[in-house]
Amino acid sequence: MRGLAERSDTDSRSMTDAGGTYGGPMSAPRTPALRLTDKHGRTAYDLRVSLTDKCNLRCTYCMPAEGLEWLAKPELLSDDEIVRLVAVGTEILGITDVRLTGGEPLLRPSLVDIVGRISALPARPAVSLTTNGIGLARLAKPLAAAGLDRINVSLDTLQRDRFVALTRRDRIDDVFDGLQAAAAAGLSPVKVNSVLMRGVNDDEAADLLEFCLEHDYALRFIEQMPLDPMHGWNRDMMVTGSEIFDQVSTKHVLTAAKADRGSSPANLWRIDNTEATVGIIASVSAPFCGACDRTRLTADGQIRNCLFAREESDLRDAMRAGATDEELAHRWIAATVTKAAGHGIDDPTFLQPQRPMSAIGG
Ligand code: SAM
Ligand code: SF4
């Protein structure tokens, strides 16, 4: 039993309170707990919220060098709207984990406040953040104090010139500083996300691992997915999870850290029989769609039931037109039911989603 199921339906805090607290219209007293369950029987507990589509880097696998149009300010959810929808997710729909992402979430000026408000929700979810680390040197402490539980920092290379080529910005020192600040703020274990690309940084698996072991960061390699706006992804060029495993195995003995990874996308490997682990997220070559427990809210208030979904369901306009929390919850459920069984990347009919990763929220 997770989330709301552990709470009684006679909980003293009714949804009427929730509507008032989060700025939404007054709604009926709490109904029995609902669930975000799809037609294949999977239930979403993990909500990814994109706080902005903007970014201060231009990673080649995520964004074009220039020319991407940003969402106009009125299209973006306000802080109150974000917190209200998260509250609908946690209090009515059983969401237990909320990850804030983007674009670059540290670019949202009110981020610390948003983290504080989500952490203070009565059905408090675990709150985590995925960031490129730029600005974290200043924000890590306030974020931890506001209630942030976990953090993932993306870093694909340790080499300055490669970082510049890969992100089109000379900011690697900011990322190193951000990582250190996150650890110092107690956001441990700090996780590092790395995407390897052939001919770019595919020889760095071992170096990235040494760096993370040395600093006590938990490394996760992620296979590159077809989510770039330039549509330059190519299956044959992708560095696969098994290649990464082989590369790391030339230096370390890897043993499975868990018999069953549950809904976690990472296959976790214990390093040299120590407590340290490395994760490999083989989203493309070994999809984990059957155990997926994610749902996504874009920065402009659209629900996506999958990273690769080609359809989105609006909550923003419904909310602005006066929908109650229960009505929003039912819209969210309707958007979930139709979730496809798998991402279908290997299917000849596969089409990339219209929005790039930066706009969906990674
Ligand atoms: N800007 C933040 C960051 O970079 O961590 C958060 C958003 S970013 C879209 C979230 C994660 O998605 C990052 O770890 C990034 O490396 C990953 N990502 C972006 N595009 C990707 C792609 N095409 N394939 C695999 N991972 C990707
Ligand atoms: Fe920005 Fe993150 Fe995309 Fe890189 S991966 S361009 S840091 S949103």
Domain of residue 172 covers 3-360
Spatial separation of the C-alpha atoms in residues 342 and 287, rounded to whole Å: 8
Give me ligand 2 centre to Cα 25, in Å: 36
Distance CA 179, CA 187 (A): 10
Element housing 296 (H / E): strand 294-297
Q: Which amino acid is at 197?
A: M
pLDDT score at 83: 98
C-beta of residue 159 within 8 angstroms of C-beta of residue 176: no
CATH number of the domain where residue 200 is located: 3.20.20.70
Find out whether the beta carbon of 358 lies less than 6 Å from any atom of ligand 1.
yes
> Which pTM was predicted?
0.90
**Residue 359: pLDDT band with limits 50, 70, 90:** confident
Distance, CA of 335 to CA of 316 (rounded, Å): 14
CB of 90 closer than 6 angstroms to any ligand 1 atom: no
Q: Kindly report, residue by residue over 6-58, the tens digit of the pLDDT.
A: 222 223 223 322 333 333 433 443 444 799 999 999 999 999 999 999 999 99
**Separation of 64 CA from ligand 1 center, angstroms?**
14
| Ligand index nearest the alpha carbon of residue 201 | 1
In total, how many domains does the chain have? Answer: 1
Looking at ligand 2, which residue's alpha carbon is closest to its atom 4? 59
Ligand nearest the Cα of residue 60 is 2
- Residues 165-177 pLDDT 10s: 999 999 999 999 9
Atom in ligand 2 nearest the alpha carbon of residue 103: 8
Which residue owns the Cα nearest ligand 1 atom 12?
362
**CA-based radius of gyration for the chain:** 20
Angle at 234 between CA 233 and CA 240, to 5 degrees: 100
